Amino acid sequence: MPEQDEKWDGIFVEEDCEEELFTPDLPDEVRPAWIDVGVRLTHIPTGKNVTVYSAPSYPENRKRAVRALRHRVNDR
């Protein structure tokens, strides 16, 4: 993974991202079904990040996070 101060080639690739899973802060009756489904992606070369926890599944949130981060990074 590249460091933030390395020269970036301007092409978004998922390997340049750091991923963190988390449990969203939700009411207690909903929380057990949403453990570790939130995704926080950080694009290391640009320092931009996105947090997604709108779906109750990790794969769907990850897909949405990658799409959102790709858009954010490419907008520069």
- Per domain, the residue ranges of the chain are 14-75
β-bridge pairing 17-22 and 38-43: antiparallel
User: How many whole angstroms separate alpha carbon 57 and alpha carbon 13?
Assistant: 23
Tell whether the model's pLDDT for residue 1 goes beyond 70.
Answer: no
Mean pLDDT of 50-69: 95
Q: pLDDT tens, 3-28?
A: 555 678 888 999 999 999 998 887 77
pTM of the shown model: 0.81
Q: How many helices (H) and strands (E) does the chain have?
A: 1, 3
Q: Which CATH class is domain 14-75?
A: alpha beta
